[in-house]
Amino acid sequence: MLNPNKSKKIFLLYSLIAVGFLIFLSVMLLSALKPRNIPSLYAKESSKAKRGSIISRDGFHLATTKKLYKAVVNTHYIDPQKKELFIELFSIYADMNPKDIEKKLKKKGVVVLSYLIQEKQAQYLKQLAYELRRYKVFVERKNPRTGLRTLHGLNIIESGESREYPYGDLLTPVIGYTHKVEEDGYTRVKGVKGLEKRFEEELYPRQDGIRKGPRDVNSYIILNKDSFTKPKIDGLDIKLTIPVSLQIRIERMLDEMKKKLRAKQVMIAIMDSHTGEMLALASSNRFLPKAIKRRDYPSLNTGMIEYSFEPGSVIKTLTFSLLLDKGLINPYDLVNGHNGHFRIGRKVITDEHKFDWLSAENVIVHSSNIGIAQLAQKLSGIEFHEGLKKFGLTQQSTQDLIYEKTGSIPSIRRLNNEIYKATASYGYGMRANLMQLIRAYSVFNNNGRMVSPRLVSYFIDEFNQHIEIPKEQQSQVIKSSTAARVKKVLIKTVNKGTGTKAKTKGLIIGGKTGTAHMVEKGKYINKYNTAFVGFVNDKTHHYTMGVVVVEPKKSQFAAQTAVPVFKRATDIMVQEGYLKPDIVK
C-alpha cells in the first residue's frame, strides 16, 4: 500500500508534466498560427529598357542613353574588422575618393554611396558585391523585432537614365533636347523638341526586363525550369540621312559667315533632289542640349521650319514657271522695264537696276520686280493661288520634324486684285520657311516632280534589323519640259545674273536670289532677310540647296550675303567628295 505522501508527490509530478506538455502544445500552436517573416525562397530582378539612340549617316551616335545606378549599403552589416577593406575596394571599383566613402559610412543605417554609377561600372560593382559576401565582409545580424538573422550586402540599384550628346551642339536644334520625368522612382527622359520629340514613341523603351526564380544562399537567382525571364526591349534607334563629317564643316562655316555678315542667324539646307534625303540641315544658332542657358532660348526652335518670312524674289521663279507651264508666256516675250519705275494702281514698283525692255527669262536672270509684276497679271487669282499651293507653300514640308510654321499666301480674292497679284509675284504679302523653299525648288532639278525632305533613313530594332519608312509619293507640279526650261534660266542666272558669285567651275549650278524687308508690328522696317535657293549638280549627283541670312548688317543684298554662303557650302561638298567637278585638265 502506497504512502499517501508519496502518492501526492507522484500526482503532483504528473500534473506538472501535463501542464508543461499543455504549455508546449499551446506555444507550438501559436507559432504555427502566428504570421512569420520567413525569408522568401524566391528572388526577383528587374532590368530597365533604354531609350533608343539617334545615329548619323556615317555611324556616329549623336544622342544616346546611359543608365545610372546607385550604390547602397547598410552600415550595420559591415564587419568592423573589414571596414577598411570595403572602403579600399569600393573606392577602386567606383573611382571614388576613399575619404568621401569613409565620411558617408559614418552615418548609421542605409547609406547611398553614389547616385552616378555608370552602366559598365555597375557590372563590376555587382561582381564586387558577390565577392565581398564570399569573404564575409558583411555579417549577419539579428533583427530585434523578429528574432531572425539577416544579411544585407552592397546593393547596386538602377536609379534612372541620362541622355547624352557626345558631340555637343552638333545638329542642334534639329536633334532637339529632353527633360527628366519620374516613373515609380525611376528617372526617365522624354523629348521636348526636334527629333527627340517627333519620334518620342519610337525612341521610348518598349519593355522592361524581369527575372524571377529560386534563390541561392546569396540571394542570386538560380536559372532552371522554375525560373522566369522576360527580356528587356530598348527603344528603336534612328538612322539619319545626315553625315557628321559634312554637317560639322557646314556648321563651322555658318559660324564664320554669321560673324562676317554681322547677321542674326544663317541657315542652310542641302537635299538630294531625287530622293529627298537631307545631306545637311544647319544653323549658326545652336545650343548644348545638356546645358541650356537662358540666352539659348531663341535657338531652341528649328529655324529651318519654325522661322517663316517673306521670301522675296525667290518666289519669282515659281511665278515664272506657272506662267510658262500654262502657256501664258514664252521665255522670249519682251517686257517693258519702264526704266525702273512702274505704277500699278496706288502702288509704285521699283527695280534696283533700270531696264527699258527685257525678255521674260531675263526678268528672272536680272530679278526685275517690274517685269514679273506685269507678267503675273496673266494669271487668274485661282491659277496663282492653286499654283503656289502645288509648289508646297502653306503645306507641311517634312514629316520628320514638328512645330512647323507653314506660312501663308494671299487668298484667291486678293490675288484677283492686280496689286496683290503684283506683290505676291515677287514674294511679298506671303510667308514661307527654308524647307518649303528647297522643297519647291526640287521641282526644277527633278523633272517637274516635287520631293519631300527626309531626315530619317530607317529605324533599327533590338535585333539590328532595319525598319524601313514608307516614302512619300512625288507629285508632278509642272511639266518636265517646263522644269527643264526653268532650270536653264536658273543656270543663266548664276552665269550672267544676280547669282554669279555661286559659280564653281566644272559643276552645274542654278539658283535665284531673294531680298525682302522685314515686318514688325504690321509695318515694313529697314531690316532685311536674304536668301538664295537653287541646285548644284555634277554628272551623278543632284542637290537642291537653300540659304537664308536673317538680318545681315553687312549688306541688304542676297548676292553679297546668301550667295557667298551657298558658294562656300559647295566648296565643302567638293572637298568632302559629295560633288566631283568635271574639269578637263
Query: What secondary structure does DSSP assign to 231-280, as a single string?
Result: --BPPPEEEES--HHHHHHHHHHHHHHHHHHT-SEEEEEEEETTT-BEEE
Q: Give residue 300's identity as a one-letter amino acid code.
A: L
List C-alpha distances in Å: 161 to 46, 189, 205.
Answer: 15, 7, 11
Cell of 173: 536644334
Pairing of strands 237-240, 54-55: parallel
Q: Which domain holds residue 85?
A: 47-208+233-240
Looking at the fold, whether 126 and 270 belong to one and the same domain comes out as no
CB 516 within 8 A of CB 245: no
Q: What is the CATH number of the domain that holds 186?
A: 3.90.1310.10
Grid cell digits, residue 133: 559576401
The verdict on 153 and 264 lying in the same domain is no
SS3 (DSSP) at 348: strand
Instruction: Output the pLDDT for position 225.
Output: 65
Give the pLDDT confidence score for residue 211 in this predicted structure.
75
Q: Is 359 helix (H, G, I), strand (E, B) or coil?
A: strand
Q: Are 345 and 353 spatial neighbours (Cβ–Cβ below 8 Å)?
A: no
Kind plus residue range of the DSSP H or E element containing 512: strand 508-520
194 with 131, same domain? Answer: yes
Please calculate the CA angle 532-535-537 and round it to the nearest 5 degrees: 150
Q: Tell me, what's the pLDDT at 116?
A: 82
The conformation of residue 221, written as its DSSP 8-state character, comes to B
Predicted confidence at residue 144, as pLDDT, reads 73
- Residue 223 belongs to a domain: no
Q: Are residues 200 and 281 in the same domain?
A: no
| First-residue to last-residue Cα distance in the chain | 143
ω into 173 cis (within 30 of 0)? yes
| C-alpha cell read off for 263 | 547677321
Q: Are residues 128 and 266 in the same domain?
A: no
Cell of 317: 521663279
What pLDDT was estimated at residue 274? 97
Regarding whether 566 and 450 lie in a shared domain, the answer is yes
**All 3 cell numbers of residue 311?**
521670301
Contacts of 458 (CB under 8 A, 6+ apart): 239, 466, 467, 468, 469
pLDDT at res. 40: 53
The pLDDT of residue 292: 96
Residues 142 and 257 in one domain: no
Question: Per the domain annotation, does 29 fall within a domain?
Answer: no
Residue 11 falls inside a structural domain: no
Domain count, the chain: 2
- 94 within some domain: yes
Rounded to two decimals, the pTM is 0.85
Any domain includes 67: yes
Residue numbers in the chain where pLDDT is lower than 70: 1-13, 24-25, 27-45, 215-228, 584-585
pLDDT at residue 37, as a whole number: 46
Assess whether 177 and 250 both reside in one domain. no
Residue 489 included in any domain? yes
Are 46 and 208 contacting, i.e. CB atoms less than 8 angstroms apart? yes
- What is the reported pLDDT for 31? 58
CATH number of the structural domain spanning residue 335: 3.40.710.10
